[in-house]
Structure 1
Amino acid sequence: MIYESGAAESPAAIRSLVLPILEEELVPIVQLGHPVLRRPAVPFDGQLDPEELKALTALMRRVMHHAPGVGLAAPQIGIPLRLAVLEDAYAPDPEAAEVRERTPLDFFTIINPRYEPLDGRTAAFYEGCLSFEGYQGVVERHHSVRLDYDDELGNVQQRTFSGWPARIVQHETDHLNGVVYVDKVMTRSLTSNAEYIRWAAPEIDEARRVLGF
């Protein structure tokens, strides 16, 4: 599939991308370099009917679980819509969970989201991306955010998030703006998954000291 800006963003073109995949169990996650990851997604405005939207979010959830990951934006499967699914049901090491403020995040869908920081606090930790396989990097993000979005039923929602859930919210919403985490990463922190085992401690102090970021 070749993505062309404009043509691929019309309602008819979006339906032509979505409808053929709705019966699939899984679809590939596109990787960094695919242009759909680098253009702001178009707002969802009824391009799909409720049953089609439900099927698309169910497919995205399956792809997210299979990866596995804790969030997936529609552009990551080649669909330029402002839509993402999020869920964090993992049971991390208790020490890491405490340091990173990682708490369970029940499954939910965000449509046309936008976030705002709640205060000036930030937190810096390693994170990865399903569209940039094989690497991790430290990103400094807002500690707490307010998220405004529509749910899959079209209801306007507003929620606040802190700690690791706030990081997931920011990461996925950024995808819908054409931003990948490597745009915000502390470059010298980038590490392959094979090397990441060295820096997998809850804190990043040792990695910061040794890698010089």
Structure 2
Amino acid sequence: MLLKSRIKLCPKILEHRRFLVTSPPASQSFRKWYQQLWTTERTNLPPYNHFTQIGDPVLRQQAALVPEEHIKSPEIEAIVEQMVRVLRKFDCVGIAAPQIGVSLRIIAIEFKGSIRKDLPEVVYQTRQMSELPLTVYINPVLTVTNYTKLKHPEGCMSVRGYSAEVERFEGIKLSGINQQGAKSELALSGWNARIAQHEMDHLEGKLYTDHMDRSTFSCTCWEAVNTKSGRVEIPFYK
């Protein structure tokens, strides 16, 4: 957070760099495409166990809908499980499938009650934070229910080490297919609405840097950089 027809994984070379592109050709089945992701002949390919970073083309693609006939498939179940695994491994509150290298319209959000003890109470209240159990949506649709905009600092695990203030709508409604494969709707407000909007942006190939107040963009560890004479590392693994 604050950090989605048929699909094919196609490598192509452009300017001496290797890109992974997902597209929905009729020539290859979803199941065959998925099996290619996990073949032992390929290494370090999606679904990743880390967050893709800004610059990766997958973060700028409009993610594809999960075919209706595959929503309850073992392949989609495995992708969702991987998303949740990465979400919790990095102690995040939201993740979208493109962030593990899979250009499909799937998001997962979770705001644990334990986060509250790590934040000043004034921050928790001002940002309208509240606990939210793990929530997964496949092919989600977002509808704005409260057009009041709130501006708060926001970060993203795909833009590691930076943050900026971003305006988001105060209230939204999510609809789509939940982790159990059933149609579902969920009304969210405050910080949880922000998380959902952030993750939905990922499905459209957008990042918070596209919406941010550029004057507030900053390195989250700038003070440590000064204190430690620049000897600071930003990890992309955990």
TM-score where L is the length of structure 1: 0.82
Residue pair 1:44, 1:111 contacting (<8 A) in 2 also: yes
Moved more, 66-75 or 160-169: 66-75
**Aligned partner of residue 130 in structure 2, secondary structure:** coil
Count how many residue pairs are aligned between Structure 1 and Structure 2.
195
In structure 2, do the counterparts of structure 1 residues 48 and 14 end up closer, same or farther at CA, with 3 Å as the change threshold? Answer: farther
Say whether 1:152 aligns with 2:175.
Answer: no
Larger relative strand fraction: 2
Determine the structure 2 residue equivalent to 1:87: 110
Residue pair 1:8, 1:14 contacting (<8 A) in 2 also: no
Determine the structure 2 residue equivalent to 1:201: none
- Find the aligned partners of 2:141 and 2:39 in 1 and give their Cα distance: 27
**Aligned partner of residue 110 in structure 1, secondary structure:** strand
Moved more, 158-167 or 47-56: 47-56
Determine the structure 1 residue equivalent to 2:192: 165
Determine the structure 2 residue equivalent to 1:57: 80
Determine the structure 2 residue equivalent to 1:204: none
In structure 2, do the counterparts of structure 1 residues 58 and 196 end up closer, same or farther at CA, with 3 Å as the change threshold? Answer: farther
Larger relative helix fraction: 1
Counterparts of residues 89-108 of structure 1 (less than 5 Å): 89=112, 90-91=115-116, 92-108=119-135
Residue pair 2:106, 2:139 contacting (<8 A) in 1 also: yes
Identity %: 28
Superposed CA offset, 1:177-205 (max 9, x none): 111111111111101011489xxxxxxxx
Structure 2: any 5+ residue segments left out of the alignment? Answer: 1-17, 225-238
Structure 1: any 5+ residue segments left out of the alignment? Answer: 198-213
Residue pair 1:115, 1:146 contacting (<8 A) in 2 also: yes
Determine the structure 2 residue equivalent to 1:136: 163
- Find the aligned partners of 1:129 and 1:95 in 2 and give their Cα distance: 22
TM-score where L is the length of structure 2: 0.74
Deviation at 1:119, TM superposition (A): 2.6
- Find the aligned partners of 1:132 and 1:170 in 2 and give their Cα distance: 16
> Larger Rg: 1 or 2?
2
Say whether 1:41 aligns with 2:63.
Answer: yes
Determine the structure 2 residue equivalent to 1:70: 93
Runs of 4 or more above 4 Å deviation: 7-10, 18-21
Deviation at 1:16, TM superposition (A): 2.3
Moved more, 91-100 or 181-190: 91-100
